[in-house]
Amino acid sequence: MADQPFWNPKTETLPREQLRELQLAKLRRQVAWARSRSPHYRRTLRDVDPDRLRSWDDLDRLPFLTREEWMAGQETHPPFGELPVVGPEAAIRVHTTSGTSGRMPLRALDGRKDWSWAAEMWCYALWGAGVRPHDVGYVAFGYGSFIGFWGLHGGLEKLGALAVPGGAQTTASRVQQIVDFGATVVASTPTYALRLAQEAESLGVDLPGSAVHTLILSGEPAGSIPETKALIERAWGAKAFDTAGMTEVSTIVMFEPANQPGGCHVIEDHFIEQVVDPSTGLEVGYGERGERVCTSFGRSTTPLIRYRTADLVVKVPGATAGNGRTFDLYEGGIIGRVDDMKLVRGTNVYPGAIEAIVRGHAGIEEFQVRLEHLDGRDEVILLVEPHPALPEDGWSALERALATDLADAHEGLRFLLRRAETGSLPRFELKAKRLTDLRAEQRAAAGVPELSV
């Protein structure tokens, strides 16, 4: 069994035509279930006949669901809103979003089968990355109400690996536990993988010399930014695998396989993933950037049908991964958010593109981006915290090289670089927040009218 590369050989290699048939068969049942049981879908799917959903084009007959609708339902029908088909008495768990965006957390219920399924989705990723029953998995995560890596913990147990819960620990304690327990697999956000490596270095712990051979990353797009991933892999002496999911489905939707093809396979026997133009809602073709729209077959308590995720992706055929899977691939994983593009003096600025450039330079511990309106014009300020071991004369060279690369990648837009003191920039255990846009309030304070674009 351990030699089998696929967790589910039957569906992971299913010919595309049959995969579509399987998805449509499940879709008909899911739509019937949702419209008969959920107050929300009773309204929105009232005019949809599930039996007439026979082709991919029929998906267009299903209305989108947005995060705003979900949250509005939570406001008017607290605490769980109108999407669930049952109340908390029929569930065994409740989880929430991380709350890092500053918005009210979304709350979601899971039943027994739902929770087994959430762990199952992580098994596709763990097994696909080469994790096996003999492995020791360390979960560097706080185990609060945020769903985070709870499902991964269940997945490790399900496939028979030893799961080590790393909750309620300092970063130093986690580093020590990783060594003490002989962890071979570590799960964390990409940002926290770097933080753990920094802490290990300061403690004199040789992570590349440790037993860790695999990192399972999730929670941020950085897991598929090649420069960040390379930095993490060097710091750990281990292979890093990206995954992505969301609280709305309770688990992950995509995973990077062992041959690291530069993207993540969608778990298509359990999800329908469409990519649409964010402005028109119309599906775009392979190779075109668009917004992920997710339909899940997993969660019985809270059906998710055509959910607008606001994640930006580029879908390509699964065959391009060259590993035998037929599941479509998101090239570069999740490459950003629909709303994270910033316009600075006519140039598009993406946080992910900045991170790729910053992480491509050695000697940087942490960074922050601030968009400010200074002396009558918009500026991008990059706060850089160099590695403590960077020699005094190293900063000038680093500053020059970074400024040049950033300008070259942004149509000549000049970034203002500032050196931050060691340990002065924020560190993150969950999702990192590295961009702050202060322009609107600064313009308002200066009496400058808001821009229309």
Partner 1 sequence: MSDATDLLGTPLTDDERALLASYDGLRALLRTDLAPCAAAGVRAALAHLGVVVTDLGLRYDHLLDDGV
Residue that is written with structure tokens 């964010």 in the block: 278
Footprint (CB under 8 A) of partner 1, residues 288-347: 297, 300-301
Does the footprint of partner 1 cover residue 117 (CB under 8 A)? yes
- Among residues 1, 14, 73, the alpha carbon closest in space to that of 40 is found at 73
Measured from the CB atom, is 97 or 300 closer to partner 1? 300
Per CB under 8 A, the list member of 31, 53, 85, 193 interacting with partner 1 is: 85
DSSP labels, 110-161: E-HHHHHHHHHHHHHHHHHTT--TT-EEEE-S--SSB-TTHHHHHHHHHHTP
Least distance from partner 1 to the Cβ atom of residue 193, Å:
29
Residue that is written with structure tokens 């899977």 in the block: 325
Cβ atoms of 336 and 273 closer than 8 Å: no
The rounded distance, in Å, linking the Cα atoms of 241 and 401 is 29
Does the footprint of partner 1 cover residue 414 (CB under 8 A)? no
Least distance from partner 1 to the Cβ atom of residue 108, Å:
15
Measured from the CB atom, is 11 or 368 closer to partner 1? 11
- For residue 266 the two structure tokens come to 């969608």
Give the number of residues written for the chain: 453
Does the footprint of partner 1 cover residue 172 (CB under 8 A)? no
Binding mask 269-288 for partner 1 (x = CB under 8 A): xx------------------
Footprint (CB under 8 A) of partner 1, residues 31-70: 33
Measured from the CB atom, is 242 or 268 closer to partner 1? 268
Measured from the CB atom, is 311 or 328 closer to partner 1? 328
Q: What is the largest CA-CA distance in the chain?
A: 70
Does the footprint of partner 1 cover residue 127 (CB under 8 A)? no
Least distance from partner 1 to the Cβ atom of residue 200, Å:
37
Does the footprint of partner 1 cover residue 104 (CB under 8 A)? no
- H/E stretch holding 400 reads helix 394-409
Does the footprint of partner 1 cover residue 94 (CB under 8 A)? no
Q: What HEC string does 188-252 produce?
A: ECHHHHHHHHHHHHHHCCCHHHCCCCEEEECCCHHHHCHHHHHHHHHHHCCEEEEEEEECCCCEE
Report the interface residues with partner 1, using CB under 8 A.
8, 10-11, 18, 21-22, 25-26, 29, 33, 85-86, 90, 111-113, 115-117, 120, 269-270, 297, 300-301
